[in-house]
Amino acid sequence: MDRTIYSEEHELFRKAFRTFAEREIVPHQARWSEAGMVDREAWTKAGQAGFLCPWLEPEYGGAGGDFLHSAVIIEELARVFESGFALSLHSDVVVPYLHEFGNQEQKQRWLPGCASGELVTAVAMTEPGTGSDLAGITTTARRDGDDYVLNGAKTFISNGQLCDLVVVAAKTDLDPSHAHQGISLFVVEATRPGFSKGKRLHKMGMASQDTSELAFEDCRVPAANRLGEEGSGFFMLMRKLAQERLVVALGSQAGAEAVLAETLRYVNERKAFGKPLAAFQNTKFKLAQCATEVEVGRTFLDVLTARHASGTLLAKECSMAKLWQTEMLGRVVDECLQFFGGYGYMLEYPVTRAYMDARVQRIFAGTSEVMKIIIAKQLGL
């Protein structure tokens, strides 16, 4: 079906980013995967080209676009099978906390650097023993005069090695009965004493994304670095997690489309028993099923993305998209990989990397099981 959510301006932006990706991303992918990290220079180049926080107002150094510009970037990264260059995490997950909940002084202090690539961001919610249970975090922030003193550990933090700013969720009220009201958010500069970046974690997929552990040991952070009021952190997290889940859904949808397109090319070129794989009925039936799932997912997601871009907060629908698109991606990439036979097990094939990258989509930003809980609550169950 024809897509209608993008304007001519968005498509020109897509063309520009596609050129950027072919020049500044694709040639470096193998090396980034080996290093387990994207070049820092790539971030500054993306910032110089206007591809970081494209929705941000010009007064803060942004291009003045909208969320659909971000959606274009997510789709184009998937098109070249790039899962490690965490542009969307920075632009559409972390920086929105600064933009919506930061005061004017904080915005002026941090947002221009976020748009230029001078400041790379991360968000530190998950802890070794909490997973999706945000109310159960144990990192603490104790008020001491004009500062807070942070102690605790975070894990599975994307951009954990490269980050300059980290939005950290910490307990400011230790009363167990105030589990949700006791969380506050702090912006912590990576240069602060007491803040340390642990080892880079070795993952099954997303090889070029620098996922790490973080530690805070008597880390003093000025009260001026707190986002919003003390105790409002859980509300802020819940408000922004909807967009984070939509970002994951967008990447998963585009990933499924990229894998399907790659597979369609392959089955028309690869021969078995004297004829192309595409000539076999099994190939036709399996890929027809995959194409239908992809098309259904795209139709729902485009409607949701357009409404989200207009400013409508759709927590239930974003959770539905996170659930559907990530589960659909898993089905499609597994089915498609089968057509590649032994080559589908070789890392030089994009479908192999896509298979490994796909698995975590059902886990981070809230597992599929958590999405079902949220949807059920929205249904009054």
Query: CA triplet 93, 96, 99: central angle to 5 degrees?
Result: 165
**DSSP character at residue 194:** T
What is the C-alpha separation between 109 and 86, in angstroms, rounded?
Answer: 22
- 256 touches 333 (CB < 8 A): yes
Cβ atoms of 256 and 328 within 8 Å: the answer is yes
* The residue to which tokens 């994304």 are assigned: 209
Give the DSSP letter string of 207-251: TTS--EEEEEEEEEEEGGGEESSTT-HHHHHHHHHHHHHHHHHHH
Q: How many CB atoms neighbour CB 42 within 10 A?
A: 18
Among the listed residues 69, 67, 30, the one whose alpha carbon sits nearest the alpha carbon of residue 49: 69
Report angle CA 57, 74, 215 to the nearest 5 degrees. 80
Q: Which stretches within the chain are classed as H helix?
A: 8-24, 29-35, 40-48, 67-79, 87-88, 95-101, 104-116, 233-269, 281-309, 315-339, 350-358, 368-378
- CA–CA separation, 180 and 356 (whole Å): 34
Q: Is 8 a catalytic residue?
A: no
User: Do 192 and 220 form a contact (C-beta atoms < 8 A)?
Assistant: yes
CA distance linking residue 237 with residue 72, whole number of Å = 25
Considering only the C-alpha atoms of the chain, give the largest distance between any 2 of them, rounded to a whole number of Å. 78
**Measured distance CA(381)–CA(367) in Å, rounded:** 19
- For residue 220, list its beta bridge partners: 149
Give the tokens for residue 246.
């939509």
Q: Name the active-site residue from 244, 257, 262, 293.
A: 244
Could you give the residue numbers annotated as active site?
244
